Every structure is written in C-alpha cells, then in structure tokens.
Structure 1
Amino acid sequence: MDQGQRTVLFLLATRRGIRSHPAFSDEYTRVAEQLRAEGHTVAPAPVARHYERFLKYGAVKTAPHAPTARVLERMFQRPVGDLLRSASDIQELEQDCSSRAPSPPVLDESDLLMTARDAASHASEAASLHLDEMTLDQLHDDLVQLARRYGGTAPAVVYQEATGLLNQAQVLLERTRSPEQHTRLYYAAAQASALLAAVSFDLGALTPAVSFARSSAQYGKTIGNGPVQAYAYGMMAFMAFWDGRPGEAVRLAKTAQTFGGLGDTARRRLYSIEARAHGHLRNTDQAERAIREGLEQSSGRRDELHDDIGGEFAFDAARTAMSNATTCLLLRDAQSAEEFATRALTLLRACPEGEQPIMVSGPAAVDLARARLLRNEVEGAQEALTPVFQVPPSWRGSGMMERLTAARIELTRPDFRSAPAALALAEQIENFSALSPARRLGAANPLAIEA
C-alpha cells in the first residue's frame, strides 16, 4: 500500500513495532485490562480480518463501537476518527495535536452508567466500613478494666491481654473509614501500647518498654490527645533515668508537662518523675522543688486517662508518696524517705482487701527498709521486708527487685559486715531475687535505684 492507502493507525503501529496482528493483539489486550481494572467496558482485540481493515484507509465504513474505540484511543492517544484517517494526513494531525489540547474522549451512555455504578458501589463500601459502636465500646471497656486490674494482675497476664487488645485495635482500624472511629481506635491503641510499656518494664525488658512507650506517644500525637502523650513521655522519662540518663529524663518529664488537657493527677505524676530524675543527678534543690510542686497540684482539673480510667494510669496519694520516698533515698535523706514510705503503706492498708497493688506496696515496703538501713536499723529493715518476701515470683517486678538490689548493696557497708542479722538478710534478698521474672529475662542492674 502507498501512503494514501494506509491509515494513521497503520503508521503509528508500525512506528511502535506492533504492525503484525499478534503483536498488536498483545498490546491491545494489555491496555484493555488496564481499562477494565478502572471500571470501563472494553471489547476483545479485533480478529486479523477486522484489524487489516483498520490499516487500510477507507476500508472501515462506520466508526468502531465505544468498547473498541476506547482501547484504541488509549493505545495511541488519539481520537479513533483520526486513527482511521489517511496516513498522508499524519503531518497535519501531529501539528494540530501540538497546538491544541487533546480531543475529548468519546462518551456514550454505557460510560455514564458505569461511572454511576462505580459511585454507588464506593458509597456502599464506605457505609459498610463503619464498625458497630458496640464493638468499640467493648474494646474501651476491656482496656479500662485491664488498666484498673493492673496492680492486682500478674505482669505476664497483663502482657498477654494488652497484646490482644492492641492487635484488636490495629485490625479494627483497617475496617472503618469513619474519622470518629479512627480517633477512638488510635486512642485505644495508645492505651494498650502504654500498658505494654509498663508491663514490659515490670518484666525487666527495657528495650521493648521504650519502644511501646514511643508507639503510645505516636498514637496520641496522631489524634492530638495531650494526656496520653504526657503519660507516654513520662514513661520514657522514667525509663531514661532507669537506663542511666537522668539528664534526658528531666528533659522528657518537662516536655510531658507542656501537653494540653492535663489534670492534677497527670501533673502530680510528672513532677514525681522529674523529682526522681533530679535525685539521680544529686540536685537536691530541684528534686525537693519538684516534690513540692507535685504535692501542690490541687486545682480540681481532671482528664479522662489519668482520672476517669485511672488504674495503672492513675497516680494517687499512695503512689506519689512511694515515688517521693525513692527520691529521698537518692538524696540520702533517711528521715523523709521513711516518712513518705510509711505514708504510702498506711494509705494502701486502708484499701479494701485484694485491692492493694503489689507493684506499689512492695516497692514502698522496700524503701522503708532502705531508710532504716541508712540508720543502721537491720531489725527494722527485716520487719519492713517481711511482707515483701511473701510476694510470689510472678509478681516480683523490676521496680521492686532493683530496690531490693539497692538494699542488698546497703548491707555491704562496713557497719554490717560482721552483723549476723545483716548477713542473713542479705542472703534472703539474694535467694528471693533469683526467682524474679526480671532476673530470668536477664535484666541488668541499672541506675534506677542507686545505693
């Protein structure tokens, strides 16, 4: 065929190396699959006889139907009418294409119906991706109950339950498109991650504890929730001085105090953590200032996480006193440490039977023993540790064990080396510590409670 007998389609197919019917069919089929995936109606590739008619100018009397034209126009980026023109017009067509916008695609009623069906399908899918509110309510209730049972549940059990709740929140996030439900689920994920951070620490696993705390902070940031971010940053501050970085702990605690929406409980907790960090730095003035500011939080402000949910997220008077006792021990202030530890234990004894959190009462009792050891009162220390030695192995968390390590170090002072009671107490501490989960996980003795 000469130039006048060929179509523009013939010329373009030749240029692209798909002049033969098999090569053209393969390319046509590939493009047709793309269009079908986009929801368009397409026709199969033309048979060889029909294809040859497309290549000969004037052989096609009527334009191809829309399902075929749609594929040809996508393949060659030209209206189908131009593709069937004489190849001798190609120069004119190329000049015209370079000077004006591409011709609009050919539409028919099937295109409009397809788009309408797509819109209806998408709207239906969006409506279906809205979770039953009862599912979210149950997840919220399970997290609240776990937080409140934390102090009376073995760490290994808390870890299993919190892991399940975190996984549930993550799965549900993929099943809803509701912004409101996303907010609730990110909040649930933040709480579950925070509980996992706390229990990982209690089990002596500092690295995953830090990772979970960071995840909780990130979830909180995603939804702009100040209290959960503050709690997570407080955890990271706590772990920083435990890991021998008290300066970093001060910075993190102060950052946590800048988040909005915090109630008195949240601020009291953060000041107590800051005081501990200053205690590790031996900065007596700043430690005592932070203790005072924590005790002065009485504006009546509340937030949901620390006050309404509470439990492990709470920081009541007993927990505050326990933390302050530890700070005073870091400052070698035996009298104040004993006063705070005694106050913590007195408040805990007032709790109903079975509601005294071992994770608070145990450390408070050890701090009381340490305060007495600072005054060389071995018998008084033995008395304070009597209930501690009755704690089952699965409940022997890091906070309690590292305090006991510090007490054991205290017993190595020259004043105690020849005292039978001190030697017996030191041996009892060693035997008790050997069975703790933290020791079985290989936890080291960090800076957290210094002798």
Structure 2
Amino acid sequence: MIVAESEQTQEEIVDGFVRCAQEHGEDAALSLRTLRRWMVGDVQTQPRPAQRRVARIYWGHPMHELLAPPKRETTLPQHIEPADAPDRADTSLSMTIERQITMSARRAARFTSNAETHNVGTEAIEQLRHDVVGLANSYLREPLTAIMGDLIELQDVTFGFLEGKQKPAQTRDLYVLASVVTGMVAKASQDLGRFHDAMTLARTMYVCADNADHIGLRAWARNLQSLIAYWAGRPQEAARYAQSGSEIAAPISGTVTTWLASSEARAWAQLGGLDEARTALARAAGHRERLQADDLDEIGGLFAFPQAKQHYYAAGTYVYIDGLHADAVSEATRALELYDSSDAESRAFADEAGTRAELALARIHEGQLDGARDALDPVLEYGPELRIGGIVASVGRVHTALRDRRYKDSTIACGLRDEIESFSQRPAAALTA
C-alpha cells in the first residue's frame, strides 16, 4: 500500500532505498524485481537483516508489517476527535515540512539521473561495485536460494549497461564487474551440479576479463574452469586449466596464484601423480610467502584464497596419496583450527564441510571410524539449502570409502553410510528445480 500510494516511481523508490542504506552505513541493496516481489508478497526467504533495518528507517515500519497483507482501514466519524489527538495546527505544519523535504529529495534524485548524460554514471558503477562485493562475501555464508536471484539480476543489470554507451574507462569498469558477477553465477551453477552451464558461464567470465585486460580475473576464470572440471570428475582437465591459469598469473602475486597451484596439486593427486602433486604444493607455499594482495583479494569472499583454504586443498591432495594420510589429517585439522578462530563474516560453510569430509576420509583410510564420524557429524546436520554439489560429492567419497571390505561388518560404518545416503537425497539443487 505504501508503494502503491506513493507519487514516486518504483525506480525512484529503489534509488531512495539504496541512498538510505548508504547514508546509514548499511550493506543493503534493493533491486526493482525484489521490490515488486515484496509488493505482491512473493517472499520465499526473509530479507537480510541489513535490508530489514533500512526498510524500517526508509518506510517507518518494521519489515513484518511491510510484508503483511494490507489491513482494511477504519476511520473515526468526522465529528469525534480522539482524546489523545495532537494539535491539528502542529500536525499540519509538521506534515507540510516533511512533504516539502520529500519533494525536494525526489527532485534532487531526478536531477542526478538526468545529469548522468551517458548510459551509466559514476554513482551507478559504484553501486554495482558495492553490490558485487556484498554478494561475493555473502556467497561464503548464505545458501544459494537466498542470493541466486540477486546474482542473476546483478548480472543482467551489468550486461544491460555494457550494451549501452559509456565512457571508455567506465566500459572497462563494467567489464570487470561483469566478469566478477558472471564468475559467481558460474560457481553457483557448478554448486548446483549444472557443469555444462557453469563452464559456459566461466568462458563468458574469461571474455569479460579479457576485454577489461584484467590478468587476475583471467587467471581466476581458468581456476574456476579447473574447479568445475574437478567436481565433474575430470581431474586431467582440471590440472590443465590450473596450469593455464598459472601461466596467465605469472606477473601477479595475489592469492589466486596460490589457489591455482593448490588446485593443480589436488587434481594431480586424484590422477596418482605424486611428484606433480608435491611440486604443485611447494609452488603454492612459495606463492603464499611472496603474497601481495591485489584487487581480487580486496573484494574478498569468494575471490580470496585464505590460509585455511590452502590447508583444506592440501588435505584434499594428501588424502589420495598412500602413505600420506597422516599429513591429510594434519592439514585438515589445521584448516579447521583456522576456521574456528575466524569471525563469522569470513567463514565459508562449504569449505569447512569439504575440510571435514577430507578429514573423515583420511581417518577412514587409517582405520579410525570413530574419528571419521566425529569429523563428519557437523556436516550431516546441514539443512538441504546448504547441501551444494561439492559438499554432497565430498560426503559421497566418504560413503565410497566406507564400503571397503574391511568395514563390511562395522556398525559405525553401516550407520554412517545410512546417514550419508539420507543426507544426499535432498541436495540444494532439488530446491531450485
């Protein structure tokens, strides 16, 4: 009702919401499509806390009231004055001033829009960048069902701007942002098991990075292709993509260089290439020592490769090499210690789950079934919305190891296999079908 009765266009309301968020230091965005979903009550998941706080400030009502069905209005007879009614003159004056301020703000917003003579202006690009950084960090801790719509819409908006006309410097900025957001959509596709779509999107990410002449993003796109191939069960292809990315990344020193070497090591381990895997791990350690954070590390979230994740990948390498399972346990344990000491904003539920799966797998190889159960129990408590493809695949590898003949009569192995089978029946991909 508030939006329907407003004299603002829906686009102006969205702009006002975003400005309100910026003015109050809140990391909250609002798209036109999301506003329209709110208007018709099509809300599958609750808005994020920051959105709820801004909505209360912007519209003067808590979110649960804004999303509730409209109430039938009741009016008092005109000749009856409520006992506690404020003085009419004071109320009228206050409303007049508020109205004038509101009209002034709307006029200023229209002026700003008209003043941007090109297809997109500096402020619009800054807003896109703000949204991209927010989603890159939300990706680590929020289920895909909560952010997928925003990712798709942000990609559509960025591509729309690129299809228009803007200054050359702004074109490069837009290609950088298009590359980043397309990379996130590609990663989401991989997490949902749509490997063909994920690879198509990763190629588009690379093209955008190439148009922006951004070495880091080109290398990141190659590593994403390596990741997609790895989880699709194609380790040889995964190793090739990682090697290609390392060649591209030779002039830079951001964490993407460490990620590429770690990815290559993990792929070689699956192929049984012990020497190649160890060489790649040594290169990853060397890159970490020479690390100089770049603009991708500044984005953070999905685009950074922290120390904990490096230990996770090392565990995923050693777990496939006979005689090095104790090293896998050590690396996974160290990764979990680092995750436990991290703040909630920087923790990645998928990487922690993957680490626990590698730890369980290493302990199974060592005959420690109780330890494997302890490692995997927190993962098996994940709700369906968190059961992305990589997690389900990692847990599936534990299930395969538990089918070893030596565990045929083990009560622990049998129970854990049953739990894994139940867990895998309701993946996140099923929620988006």
Q: Same fold (TM over 0.5)?
A: yes
Say yes or no: does 1:247 pair with 2:231: no
Query: Is residue 364 of structure 2 the alignment partner of residue 364 of structure 1?
Result: no
On the 8 A contact 1:262/1:302 being kept in 2, the answer is no
**Alpha-carbon distance in 2 for matches of 1:131, 1:204:** 35
Task: Report sequence identity in percent.
Answer: 27
Against the structure 1 CA distance between its residues 351 and 228, is the aligned structure 2 distance closer, same or farther, given a 3 Å change threshold? same
Deviation at residue 295 of structure 1 after TM alignment? 1.4
2:137 maps to 1:148: yes
Q: Paired residue for 1:429, among 411, 420, 425?
A: 420
Matched-pair contact (CA < 8 Å) for 1:173–1:182 = yes
1:225 counterpart residue number: 214
CA contact (8 A) 1:158 1:199 kept: no
Q: Distance in 2 between matches of 1:190 and 1:390?
A: 34
Does 1:293 pair with 2:283? Answer: yes
Instruction: Tell me if structure 2 keeps the 8 A contact 1:197–1:213.
Output: yes
* Structure 1 pair 243–389 and aligned structure 2 pair: CA distance change class (3 A): closer
Tell me if structure 1 keeps the 8 A contact 2:220–2:256: yes
1:398 Cα deviation (Å)? 1.4
Q: Which consecutive unaligned segments of at least 5 residues does structure 1 have?
A: 1-124, 443-451
- Judge conservation of contact 1:204–1:441 (CA < 8 Å) in 2: no
Q: How does 1:181-330 map to 2 (within 5 A)?
A: 181-260=170-249, 261-297=251-287, 298-305=289-296, 307-330=297-320
The amino acid of 2:413's aligned partner reads A
Deviations for 1:100-130, whole angstroms, at most 9, x for unmatched residues? xxxxxxxxxxxxxxxxxxxxxxxxx9x8325
Residue 349 of structure 1 deviates from its aligned partner by 0.2
Checking the alignment, whether the CA contact within 8 Å between 2:137 and 2:346 is kept in structure 1 is no
SS for the counterpart of 2:228 is helix
- How much has 1:439 moved relative to structure 2? 6.2
Checking the alignment, whether the CA contact within 8 Å between 2:242 and 2:261 is kept in structure 1 is yes
In structure 2, C-alpha distance between the alignment counterparts of 1:253 and 1:384, rounded to whole Å: 29
2:161 corresponding residue in structure 1: 172
Residues 360-389 of structure 1, C-alpha deviation per residue, up to 9 Å, x if partnerless? 111111111111100111111111112112
Question: Take 2:345 and 2:154, find their aligned partners in 1: how far apart are those partners?
Answer: 25
Residues 210, 236 of structure 1: 8 Å contact kept: yes
The answer (yes or no) to whether the contact 1:433–1:439 under 8 Å persists in 2 is no
1:151 aligned counterpart, secondary structure: coil
> Is residue 205–residue 438 contact of structure 1 (8 Å, CA) maintained in 2?
no
1:178 to partner: Cα distance: 1.0
Partner Cα separation in structure 2 for residue 416 and residue 439 of structure 1: 31
**Contact 1:130–1:178 (CA under 8 A) maintained in structure 2:** no
Match status 1:345 vs 2:340: no
Contiguous gaps of at least 5 residues in structure 2: 1-113
TM-score (norm 2): 0.70
User: What amino acid is the match of 1:308?
Assistant: E
Q: Is 1:282–1:330's contact at 8 Å kept on the other side of the alignment?
A: yes
Q: Is 1:411 paired with 2:402?
A: yes
Q: How many residues align?
A: 317
- Kindly indicate whether the alpha-carbon contact (under 8 Å) linking 1:233 and 1:253 is maintained by their aligned counterparts in 2: yes
Q: Deviations for 1:150-181, whole angstroms, at most 9, x for unmatched residues?
A: 11111222322111111010111233331111
Retained in 1: the 8 A contact 2:231–2:390? Answer: no
In 2: Cα distance, 1:129 partner to 1:440 partner:
41
CA spacing shift, 1:303–1:334, aligned 2, 3 Å: same
CA distance in 1 between counterparts of 2:399 and 2:263 reads 24
**What is the RMSD computed on CA atoms of the aligned residues?**
2.0
Q: Distance in 2 between matches of 1:244 and 1:390?
A: 26
8 Å CA contact 2:145–2:432 kept in 1: the answer is no
Q: Are residues 318 and 232 of structure 1, via their aligned partners in 2, closer, same or farther at CA, if it must alter by over 3 Å?
A: same
Map of 2:22 onto structure 1: none
Distance in structure 2 (CA, Å) of the matches to 1:321 and 1:182: 38
Whether the aligned pair in 1 keeps the contact of 2:119 and 2:161 (CA below 8 Å) is: no
When the two structures are superposed, what TM-score results if normalisation uses the length of structure 1? 0.67
Contact 1:205–1:441 (CA under 8 A) maintained in structure 2: no
CA gap 1:299/1:387 in 2 versus in 1, 3 angstroms:
same
